[in-house]
Amino acid sequence: MNPSPPFLLFFYLILLLTQDFPAFSLRFSPSQPNLTLYGDAFFRGHTISLTQQQPCFPTPSPPNCSSSGLGRALYVYPIKFLEPSTNTTASFSCRFSFTIIASPSCPFGDGFAFLITSNADSFAFSNGFLGLPDPGVDPHGSFIAVEFDTSFDPIHGDINDNHVGIDVNSIVSVASVDAISRGIDLKSGREMMVWIEYSDVLKLIRVWVGYSRVKPKSPVLSARIDLAGKFKEYMHVGFSASNALGSAFHIVERWKFRTFGSHPDAVQEDDDWLVCFENPRTNHRYGLDVRVSVVGLRIPFWSLLPGLATIVVLTAFIAYSLIRGKKRTVCEGGGLNRVPGRLSLAEIKSATSGFNESTIVGHGASATVYRGSIPTVGSVAVKRFDRAHWPQCNRNPFTTEFTTMTGYLRHKNLVQFQGWCSEGTETALVFEYLPNGSLSDFLHKKPSSDPSEEFIVLSWKQRVNIILGVASALTYLHEECERQIIHRDVKTCNIMLDAEFNAKLGDFGLAEVYEHSSMLAGRNATLPAGKVLDGVDVMLKEEFDAEEMERVLMVGMVCSHPDCDKRPRVKEAVRIIRGEAPLPVLPARRPLLRIQLTMDAEEMIADSLGGEELPWMTPKSHF
């Protein structure tokens, strides 16, 4: 028998009161800077570059050179890592992504490091030190670093110029590994994902590195280290890099860090790198983004945590008791939102009868879509990715779609994400199954000669409803999410239809996530020249509202205008379709598309830091 919620709350209260180390968590947010920058480090857009470009000198830089060659970014407040009374060290976990981009015609710099140090102001200016602390300057200081070294210096025990190492109070690594041998090239210019975990119970630090945002199964490096004898009570956390005689940008793009006690249950998995939270200015409630601002309080602040936690849990217990009956009624009346979870490969194979060909409902360049059934969910569409085609894609299509969808997107006009699987060589995403397939099927399918096969023509009313449904989904993605999501591949085969022919936008394999801006993507107009109503589908047989049809076609053309400044926002397009705004003014002839280089050299360098990659073909999926 499952324990009751009141009992679980009581058990959690006891756990809080007996927890042996306070937990701490932080997330880097460019909109809320919580980092201190040192040396050459600077904010560039929504990333941090720890170093700057500098001339390549055969000898150290001259005195008048504005670049110091090294930089750091540290969290603004020191974090408690050691409990002196028990000599217990906090365990910690960290995730971040970084890129190293060398300057043209210059060798790479020293490299980049994740750093925990007792002295934020101690720097080693010598070549090969990656800007880490200098034990000779501060003999009583302490630090630990995970280095990503791109310079070979045998004096410091380097194994080559492309390795990962763990340093403790010295630039000479206690453990290191050739990155190339593990399938990672630190000099590739690609964004790399890193996971670092330290367990105080096991006295073990482990490092994972990969190009995907899905954590690899095996670490590239691990070492047995007891940090209790190395750490001070409070330490600074962040990153360090240096160029020495080379020149490269060392860029940090994402970062999450947390400490926790020795209780294994205190560790929470949180795999949503790209989270689509509702903008607080809107009234909808699709998610909650809680950001905690840590002030400069130390021991008194931490001592308040157990008491505050007790108050919160007791309040929750009382609230649960008061609304227990009402809550049960609400839950019985409608389904609860389920957070997409990880599924085993056995569950996926069971759902699709072992990926049986008879269950295939869609094919594409990077994936095959199967219809299946999962007992806890019902009918589903399983999108199975083909790794053999990933090299042609220039990036991982599974990762792109997974990291977008795990933002817990909830909207009635978006295909709902139900779960995922990454096991061995198999990767798959699971979505709700939509029985009517894609809009493309209904617009382009020809009547069959078989009289028993039903041929459905979408009515004009259904088509307008589909257009407005897609517009609602795009408005949600573009304007109602805290982080703007640009789909970049809206087409009829990616617009799915449920049993009532309501539109649901799917296939986020090309999606990009931005901070709010005026970024636009689309296709050129494809209607032939002539009268607007010449574009009407003959299958409608004149059964439509001519005035409404004209508005829809005019909106279609203005949304495809080659000049992006003349395209309306999605909300404005909807108002035109509904007759709430005047028709757009279009030129008599279709405008020509002109592309002009408007970026100067500095902007071109900045643009190169974004790592924009070529898109790949996406499957025509039937959900």
Q: Return the structure tokens found at 502.
A: 């309501």
DSSP lists the bridge partners of residue 27 as 256
Each residue's pLDDT tens digit, 152-209: 888 888 899 999 999 999 889 999 999 999 999 999 999 999 999 999 888 999 999 9
Dihedral sign computed on CA atoms, order 73, 75, 76, 79: negative
Percentage of residues of the chain with pLDDT beyond 90: 19
Q: Exposed/middle/buried for 479, CB within 10 Å: 0-12, 13-18, 19+? A: middle
CA separation for the pair 377, 424 (Å, rounded): 24
> How many residues are present in the chain?
623
- For the stretch 296-333, pLDDT in tens is 333 344 445 555 665 666 666 556 555 554 433 333 33
The stretch 540-556 carries a mean pLDDT of 76
Q: Which helix (H) or strand (E) holds 405?
A: helix 397-405
What pLDDT, on the 0 to 100 scale, is given for residue 28? 57
Which tens digit of pLDDT belongs to each residue from 114-151?
Answer: 999 998 887 776 665 788 887 777 778 899 999 999 99
215 is in an annotated binding site: no
Q: Which contacts qualify for 535-540: CB closer than 8 Å, 24 or more apart? A: 537/443, 539/457, 540/457, 540/459, 540/460
CB atoms within 10 A of CB 443: 15
Bridge pairing between strands 341-342 and 417-423:
parallel
What are the tokens at 33?
A: 């800077």
Per-residue pLDDT reduced to its tens digit, 386-434? 876 554 445 567 777 776 666 546 778 888 888 888 888 888 888 888 8
CA 26/CA 305 separation, integer angstroms: 16
pLDDT in the model for residue 208: 96
Quick one: pLDDT at residue 167? Answer: 94
Q: What are the strands, taking DSSP E only, across 261-320?
A: none
Nearest of 520, 519, 490 to residue 505 by alpha carbon: 490
Angstrom distance (rounded) from CA 38 to CA 238: 11
Q: Which residues contact 353 (CB under 8 A, 6 or more apart)?
A: 359, 372
How buried is residue 567: exposed, middle or buried, by Cβ count under 10 Å (0-12/13-18/19+)? middle
Helices H / strands E in the chain, number of each:
10, 28
In this prediction, residues 442-446 reach a mean pLDDT of 73
Structure tokens at 433: 């199954």
Q: For residue 536, what are the contacts with CB-CB under 8 A and spacing of at least 6? A: 544, 549, 553
Closest CA to 129 of 169, 100, 184, 95: 169
- Coil/strand/helix, residue 115: strand
- The whole-number pLDDT of residue 598 equals 44
Reported as a single tens digit per residue, the pLDDT across 500-547 is 889 888 776 555 554 444 444 444 444 444 466 666 776 776 677 777
* Gap between the Cα atoms of 544 and 592, Å rounded: 32
Beta bridge partners of 256: 27, 95
Measure Cα distances from 173 to 147, 170, 409, 596 in Å: 9, 7, 43, 50
Catalytic residues: 489
pLDDT given for residue 241 in this prediction: 93
Give the chain's domains with CATH numbers. 20-262 (2.60.120.200)
Confidence at residue 269, expressed as pLDDT on a 0 to 100 scale: 40
| pLDDT tens-digit readout, 561-593 | 777 777 888 888 888 888 888 877 776 666 665
What type of residue sits at position 442?
F
